[in-house]
Structure 1
């Protein structure tokens, strides 16, 4: 197999120039870049990643830890992370914890600082003590999509104002004229969706309604969870005209439940979610939701982690806040029947 030196010799440049071209770093003229790429193609050169890691003292990969790769939001976020990493010549390792702290701890012990230069953490149900221990071992950690921008976690993070997302969703239903609104929260009472539900309550209270009296169920953050919760909500409160859910998957489940109960959406029941995953656009009717800046959050998280790798002290504890969530009105919401 060809070596970096052989590529450099064939292209008439230094090995450092070849490395800069392959990693898209530094200033390299276009003619020189083309010579290097032609030499790489002619010799069939492939970088030896373990050797690169040894030479540079860090791995060329970043780990992304998620709680469930089966949740379609996480692959969408992972794709945005991968695109951002590719631009800087790095690679992505995805670690699926299945919501198990022990599995997550094992990933941190085995990968952080060895196979990966740093770790992005996305709702992986990990103890902060384990994350700080990972930092002390020299592998920086960034929390992704932290839900409370005004309540920093003490770790570097990229935050999204999910409280505002919940508020925007509730306001939309209220402005349509809904007053009998049920809520499905895709986490425990104090779980990761709590800020979204708090935003919902704030909007209800601001409209002169007692948000705390609105029917609410806490359910798994899945389509099946939303389906079961919606059937239970409507069995208890058949007069509901709208359902607010803290994520798109439960919202899609709510629409399925409505269909099985013979309640057309949105004529008999309006449904709204939060996030704006691809499935929300493809459902019929298409789901009204509050979109969060997924790509922006991924790019900010990658940039922050790369800064931590280069200058750990400079970025320690930093909170990067994305642009605000935005309401996306589609076919699943309408004015209630008179």
Structure 2
């Protein structure tokens, strides 16, 4: 097996320089990086990650634990997080829990502090107390996009203003003069997306909408469930002229349901989602939505985890990244002058 020392000799640098090239290339002169990488390729060097972890007292891997990798939001988040981790000299291990708390628990106990120096935990069914116990064992644990996170939590959390996101959607529909509005509220492993709904409802009330003008239905946060929930809601309340879905997948399902029911979007029915996944831009009509700064959230989560690993971050903190943003596309328009029903 080729050793790091052999690479150093071939590149005519020190072993420490080779280590820096592998972990922090931005701190090394480009010409030196090129020479070291050439030596690595010529010799077929492969770093021994276990030995490195033992020598440094920590792993060179970060773990990202998410609930369901089939949700299109997560691959987009993973891509941004992996880029940030790699830029900082770390590998990213993605752990898909499949919405199963037992799998999440097994991942945490097996990788936290051993295979991974830190763990970014997105919405799961695990209680905060379990995560706190893992952190007390020496692992850096950072929560990400927990909708119900509070500043008093014992673990740091990177999140976004979910209520403000809902309020942006409400303001948009109100400005389009919609008065009979439905809301599809998603529920996944992180619980109901109720903070988004609260922001939406409070913004409508502030604009003079009567409480009874908003009809709410709950659904799993998927296209299929959004389809079924929207269809049931539109059958029960045919006079609705707009729907707000607390995530884009349900909004896309709602657009499919509207099409199958002969409702034209946005001529008969306006639909707005939340998150701005890539599919929202690709679907036709393109979905009006409230964009989360996904790449920024991912980068901040990785940075905070490494700050925890290095002992430079506060143990308890709530980090809200920059505000969500309304993105107007083709799925919303003025309320029709003649209402159904």
Report the TM-score, using the length of structure 2 for normalisation: 0.95
Count the aligned residue pairs.
336
Which runs of 5 or more residues in structure 2 are unaligned? none
Tell me what 1:174 maps to: 174
Per-residue CA distance 1:47-104 (angstroms, 9 max, x = gap): 1111111211111111111111111101111111101001012111111112222221
Contact 2:227–2:256 under 8 Å retained in 1: yes
CA distance in 1, matches of 2:152, 2:319: 10
Corresponding position of 2:330: 331
Secondary structure of the corresponding residue to residue 320 of structure 1: strand
Question: Deviation digits for residues 203-252 of structure 1, max 9, x if unmatched?
Answer: 11011113365110111000011101111111111000000110000000
* Residue in 2 that maps onto 1:199: 199
Q: 2: distance between equivalents of 1:13 and 1:285?
A: 58
Aligned: 1:76 with 2:76: yes
d(CA) in 1 for partners of 2:227, 2:26:
53
Match of 2:57 in 1: 57
- Following TM superposition, by how much is the alpha carbon of 1:149 offset from its aligned partner in structure 2, in angstroms? 7.0
Distance 1:129 1:152 in 2: 13
User: In structure 2, what is the equivalent of residue 47 of structure 1?
Assistant: 47
1:148 shift after superposition: 5.4
Contact 1:180 1:214 in 2 (8 A): yes
C-alpha distance in 2, partners of 1:258/1:26?
A: 52
Kindly report which structure 2 residues correspond to 1:217-232, keeping only aligned pairs within 5 A, or say none.
217-232=217-232
In the TM superposition, what are the counterparts of 1:1-338 in structure 2 within 5 Å?
1-25=1-25, 27-147=27-147, 151-187=151-187, 191-211=191-211, 214-311=214-311, 314-338=313-337
The Cα RMSD (Å) is 1.6
Contact 2:67-2:124 within 8 A present in 1 as well? yes
Between stretches 272-281 and 7-16, larger displacement belongs to 7-16
**Aligned equivalents of 2:268 and 2:236: distance in 1?**
16
8 Å CA contact 2:273–2:288 kept in 1: the answer is yes
